[in-house]
């Protein structure tokens, strides 16, 4: 049964409905975030970059190509990442809100794209972000405005936001 849609390529994909498999396609937020980081790369410390909710892992691969020294791709499901990521990328199973471990607390930059679309995402993601001190950059499509508002309400760190190509980028410092 075709139930999914790739917003970048207009490709429908098969969905077995057994779990959240939104990570099986590259979402437009990832493209916008990549472009934003590439354009502003001198502003970010690419020493140890962690991606949350990596999905296909394409952004992590691009960040590695950009010269990041250490890259970690993480998601609640990592089977796709094991197939798509360079062997130089660490792969971690991580659910938003899980306990913070070394690979997260040592990050110099945390990135995530299209990870604000379910009602529990704001509190769980903010639990993680509020426990960290490094810069976090998150790109979201505009399809869930109330969830983005919840996210901002739960953030206990200072942030700025920018609108880029119909997406919202939160830069949390």
Residues of the shown chain interacting with ligand SAM in the complex, contacts defined by CB under 6 A: 20, 22-23, 26-27, 29-30, 53-56, 75-77, 95-96, 113-115, 124
CB of 63 to ligand SAM, least distance (A): 12
Q: Which residue has the tokens 């939104």?
A: 22
Least distance between ligand SAM and beta carbon 30 (Å): 4
Question: Is there a contact between 87 and 65 (Cβ–Cβ < 8 Å)?
Answer: no
Q: Which is nearer to ligand SAM, 46 or 92 (CB)?
A: 92
Question: Least distance to ligand SAM from the beta carbon of 109, Å?
Answer: 15
Question: CB 41 → ligand SAM: shortest distance, Å?
Answer: 19
Cβ-based nearer residue to ligand SAM, 42 or 121: 121
Residue whose CB is less far from ligand SAM, 124 or 157: 124
Nearer to ligand SAM, 46 or 115 (CB): 115
In whole angstroms, how close is the CB of 95 to ligand SAM at the nearest point? 4
Residue nearest to ligand SAM (CB): 23
Closer to ligand SAM at the Cβ: 10 or 42? 10
Task: Report the distance separating Cα 27 and Cα 25, nearest Å.
Answer: 6
């Amino acid at each position: 049964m075709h139930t999914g849609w790739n917003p970048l390529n207009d490709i429908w994909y098969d969905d077995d409905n057994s779990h959240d498999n939104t990570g099986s396609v590259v979402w437009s937020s990832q493209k916008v975030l990549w472009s934003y980081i590439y354009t502003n790369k001198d502003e970010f410390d690419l020493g140890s970059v962690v991606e949350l909710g990596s999905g296909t892992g394409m952004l992590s691969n691009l960040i590695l190509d950009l010269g990041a020294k250490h890259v970690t791709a993480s998601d609640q499901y990592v089977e796709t990442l094991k197939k798509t990521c360079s062997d130089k990328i660490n792969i971690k199973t991580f659910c938003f809100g899980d306990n913070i471990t070394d690979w997260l607390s040592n990050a110099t930059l945390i990135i995530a794209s299209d990870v604000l679309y379910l009602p529990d995402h704001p509190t769980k993601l903010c639990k993680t972000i509020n426990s960290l001190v490094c810069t976090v950059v998150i790109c979201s499509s505009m399809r869930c405005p109330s969830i983005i508002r919840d996210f901002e309400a739960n953030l206990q760190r200072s942030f700025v936001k920018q609108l880029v190509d119909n997406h919202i980028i939160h830069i949390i410092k």
